[in-house]
Amino acid sequence: MQKGQHNIMARRLTETELVLASHNKGKLVEIAALVEPLGYKVISAGDLGLPEPEETGSTYRENAELKAKAAALASGKPALSDDSGLSVSALGGAPGIYSARWAGPDKDFDAAMRRVADALLMTGQYDRDAKFICALSLCWPDGHIETFEGQVSGTICWPARGDRGFGYDPIFIPTGHDITFGEMDPDAKHAMSHRADAFRQLLAACLS
Ligand code: IMP
C-alpha cells in the first residue's frame, strides 16, 4: 500500500487503554506525546513489570512485532511498540537494528556517535546520507498485529551538536534544516520524525 493511503482493511482500536511496549525513556515520552492527546491512557511495560523481550528479529518490523506481541499477550491489553534506528548509507545501513547495541550495556551514546563518525571517516567517502527508520506495531491480546513503517532522511554531522532529544539526535541533521535533532525544539522534531511518519499511518488506519 502507498504511504498515506488509508488502510481500510486494518483493525481499528476501540479500547482506550494502551500498553507502551518499550523500556526506552526517550521513546516512551515521544510515543506518549503522540497518543495521549487522542484520549488514550498509556501504561508503560516497565510500570507493569513486564520483561523486555530479546530483539531477535532481523528487521525493524520483526523486532517491533515481537515486542508488541509479548506485551499484549502478557498484559491482556493492546500494546504499541516501536523499533527504530539510524541507518547510514555509506555504512551499508549500519548501525540499523543494532543502533541501541552500538551504545553498549552502559547506553553510552557519546561513544556510539563517535563510532559512527569514525566508521564514516574510515570509508574515505564524502557520503553523509542517513535515515532514521521506525516500525510501529500495534498488537491486540488475540495476537492480531498492524505494523507501519516511517522514516526521515538527513545527513550525519560531526562533532555532535545539541543536548535535546536522545540517542543519535545530536549527529543527525534532517533534510531541509541546518540544525541537528539534538538542537531542535522537541515539538519540531516530533512533527517530522520517523516515529511521527509511522504514527500518521497508524492514526489513519487504526485510531479514532
Ligand atoms: P530499539 O528500537 O529499542 O532497538 O532502539 C533504537 C535505538 O535507535 C535507540 O536506542 C536510539 O539509539 C536510536 N534511535 C531511535 N529513534 C531515535 C531518535 O528519534 N533519535 C535518536 N536516536 C534514535
Any atom of ligand 1 within 6 Å of the Cβ of 99:
yes
**Mean pLDDT, rounded, of the chain:** 93
> Averaged over 97-118, what is the pLDDT?
97
How many other CB atoms are there within 10 angstroms of residue 180's CB atom? 24
Domains assigned to the chain: 17-207 (3.90.950.10)
Q: Which of 150-159, 168-177, 185-194 is the least confident region? A: 185-194
Residues in the chain: 208
**Percentage with pLDDT > 90 across the chain:** 81
Q: What pLDDT sits at residue 8?
A: 61
In this prediction the pTM is 0.90
- Could you give the CA distance from residue 199 to residue 163 in angstroms, rounded to a whole number? 25
> Averaged over 76-96, what is the pLDDT?
97
- Could you give the CA distance from residue 196 to residue 192 in angstroms, rounded to a whole number? 6
CA 193 to chain CA centroid, nearest Å: 9
Q: What pLDDT sits at residue 9?
A: 84
Any atom of ligand 1 within 6 Å of the Cβ of 201:
no
Which triple of cell numbers denotes residue 48? 507493569
Any atom of ligand 1 within 6 Å of the Cβ of 137:
no
List the helix and strand counts (H, then E) for the chain: 5, 6
83 noted as active-site residue: yes
- Could you give the CA distance from residue 98 to residue 41 in angstroms, rounded to a whole number? 30
pLDDT band at 2; cut points 50, 70, 90: low
**Closest ligand 1 atom to the C-alpha of 97?**
4
Is the separation of the CB atoms in 180 and 156 below 8 Å?
no
Residue closest via CA to ligand 1's atom 3 equals: 83
pLDDT in tens, 34-81: 888 899 999 999 999 998 899 999 999 999 999 999 999 999 999 999
